[in-house]
Amino acid sequence: MDKEVGHNIGRTISTGCVARSLADTSPDHKTVSLPSAERDIHEACGVVGVYAPGAEVARIAFFGIYALQHRGQESVGIATGDGEGIYIRKAMGLVSQGLHEDDLSQLPGHVSIAHTRYSTPGSSRVANAQPILAKGPDIELAIAHNGNVVNAMELREELKGWGCSFDTSSDSEVIAQLLAHAPAADWEERASYAMRRLEGAYSLTITTKDELIVMRDPLGVRPLCMGRLGNGWVVASETCALDHIGAEFIREIEPGEAVLINAAGPQTVYRKPSSNGFQASCIFEHIYFARPDSVLDGSLIYQTRMAMGAELAKEFPVEADMVIGVPDSAIAAAVGYAQAADIPYGEGLVKNRYVGRTFILPDQNMRDLGVRRKLNPLPELIKGKRLVVVDDSIVRGTTTPHVVSLLRKGGAKEVHLRICAPPIMWPCYLGVDFATKKELIAANMTVEEIRDFVKADSLGFLSTEGLLRASGRPRNKVCMACFTGNYPIPVQLEMDKLALEV
């Protein structure tokens, strides 16, 4: 992966449809090398937006996006507006690696957006880092995007016909150019036009030189919430980001809602219901992606995962001596299983906190290396015991055999795997880079074949019905396409995430 860190900073200027910063051509524009580090690559992205006149909005955005580091580790960026122009700083790597005190000091203004990225559409390179700038006939803006627009290719070709050229290979630049060139007189018309044209998942924070705009797609696939910070306002992918900066959670941005935040406060300028009346929030946010201390759909994620474990105990009971969870995302579910089954909970695996989650690292060799360095068993606690081992999911089947082997080498007498997700049999096209169908182990093996492959004594996947009960969400409000193959919108099967590569 790219170990170079590039910085862009400056008031934006543009030629035609291509927005650039002044530093792109300035003599002091530099590429800086950072020490290599394990990077925990996750499902999609995290976004933050801040409107707070009189406050250090770049610093607020920095700590907000720092709390969302679990959502992406490939690149980071912050853009601000001061009433005169838009300024941006972005880099490859983690938030703490890519942005420093001198970066924040060069981001003036009263409005800010921030982004941390894992590449879904578009490769991992600094050109694809966000926020992305765009300039239209009568507006200049920068956007930070979480999600995946499935008709980005067609829209990009159309925008090229309007005279636009593109600097990146991401669908986010397509959204930025579409918004900048929308035939609109105000944000109500601009949001209406964009939502009529865009298909797929998009939670957006957008800054102009003086206002903050947030938009969420009509299906509500990716989360987005709003909080109050003194006399200002903050928007973020998860409530944990609001907590970290001391903001008071107010509400979630509704699916299909566009909110303008300026000196008058938040104003809903447009609402678009989904075409079929359904919503499709990603159920994997509840299972794995969201931090356990975030509140989503009115429920604390930790409690939702405990409920998943309790459902697993009902669906797949087994005689055992101890329940353990695979750190970190399955710990709450393991506690829930243990309580429901009346089996003692304990820790049997220790995680190296400086090695990240591995199931969506973009390179197989790195994935294998990550698994070997990630976990260590506690033999004195598990020796001779029948273990129930709770994990959040099995995707490619890379990690699980290693976990079972570690536990057996540590002296476990039996290993009974319990998985908080149903078998993942279909790829995601709405912002999660799982794998292709041929790489998904459950798409190519039966449950019994998977059990034999991972060498467990028994294996149980939570049912879709149990998952819905645990999440408290009705079936017509969530997307479970990775389990069922029933996508909320038409998608191009086996769509290449690098299709927009230039």
CATH number of the domain where residue 192 is located: 3.60.20.10
Look up tokens 């998860």; give the residue. Answer: 238
Q: How far apart are CA 339 and CA 391, in angstroms?
A: 16
- Flag whether 285 is in a domain: no
Query: Is 27 contained in some domain?
Result: yes
End-to-end CA distance of the chain: 18
* Residue 142 near residue 131, CB atoms below 8 Å: yes
Bridging pattern class, strands 45-51 and 31-33: unpaired
pLDDT value of position 343: 98
Instruction: Report yes or no on 294 lying in a domain.
Output: no
- Is 17 marked active-site? no
CA-angle at 271, arms to 267 and 277, nearest 5°: 150
- Mean pLDDT computed over 289-318: 97
- Residue 275: pLDDT over 70: yes
d(CA 269, CA 261): 10
Cα 386 to Cα 401: distance, rounded to the nearest angstrom: 17
State yes or no: pLDDT of 492 exceeds 70.
Answer: no
Structure tokens at 483: 């389990």
271 in the same domain as 367: no
Is 122 in the same domain as 198? yes
pLDDT at 168: 86
Given 279, 311, 331, the domain boundary residue is 279
- The pLDDT value recorded for residue 250 is 98
Mean pLDDT is lowest, of 305-309, 365-369, 439-443, for 365-369
In a domain, 469, yes or no: yes
Same domain for 189 and 87:
yes
Query: Residues 182, 256: one domain?
Result: yes
Give the model's pLDDT for residue 165.
87
C-beta of residue 64 within 8 angstroms of C-beta of residue 239: no
Q: Closest by alpha carbon to 321, among 216, 411, 240, 427?
A: 411
pLDDT exceeds 70 at position 289 = yes
Indicate if the alpha-carbon torsion angle 286, 288, 289, 292 is positive or negative: positive
Statement to judge: residues 351 and 438 lie in one domain: yes
Q: Is residue 291 part of a domain?
A: no
pLDDT at 285: 94
CA distance 434 to 398: 12
Which residues have C-beta within 8 Å of that of residue 228, sequence separation ≥ 6?
Answer: 234, 247, 248, 250
- Whether the pLDDT of residue 138 is over 70: the answer is yes
- Average pLDDT, stretch 386-410? 94
211, 246, 279 — which closes off a domain? 279
Q: Are residues 464 and 423 in the same domain?
A: yes
CA distances from 221 to 195, 215, 373, 427 (A): 14, 12, 33, 15
With cut-offs at 50, 70 and 90, classify the pLDDT of residue 399.
confident
Domain range holding 192?
4-279
Which CATH number do you get for residue 406?
3.40.50.2020
Whether residues 174 and 105 fall in one domain = yes
Whether residues 9 and 57 share a domain: the answer is yes
Q: What is the mean pLDDT of residues 30-53?
A: 57
Q: Can you list the alpha helix ranges (DSSP code H) found in 281-374?
A: 284, 301-315, 331-341, 364-374
287 located within any domain: no
Specify the residue for token string 């199931």.
359
Q: Are residues 205 and 304 in the same domain?
A: no
Q: Do 272 and 343 have their domain in common?
A: no
Q: Please report whether residue 120 resides in a domain.
A: yes
Of 16-20, 318-322, 469-473, which gets the smallest average pLDDT? Answer: 16-20
| Active-site pick, 45, 240, 428, 479 | 45
Q: Is residue 13 predicted with pLDDT exceeding 60?
A: no
- β partners of residue 388: 323, 416
314 and 269 together in one domain: no
Instruction: Please write the tens of the pLDDT for every residue from 226-270.
Output: 999 999 999 999 999 999 999 999 999 999 999 999 999 999 999
User: How far is Cα 19 from Cα 319, in angstroms, rounded to an integer?
Assistant: 62
- pLDDT, average across residues 189-194: 98
Q: Are 239 and 294 in contact (CB under 8 A)?
A: yes
Do 353 and 468 lie in a common domain?
yes
Question: Confidence class of residue 17 from pLDDT cuts 50, 70 and 90?
Answer: very low
Q: What is the pLDDT of residue 32?
A: 28
Question: Looking at the domain assignment, is residue 20 inside a domain?
Answer: yes
How many domains does the chain contain in total? Answer: 2
What count of Cα atoms within 13 Å lies in the side-chain half-sphere of residue 278? 17
The vertex-477 CA angle with 190 and 338, nearest 5°, equals 135
Q: Please give the residue that has the higher pLDDT: either 332 or 328.
A: 332
pLDDT tens-digit profile of 338-373?
A: 999 999 999 999 988 765 444 344 455 555 555 557
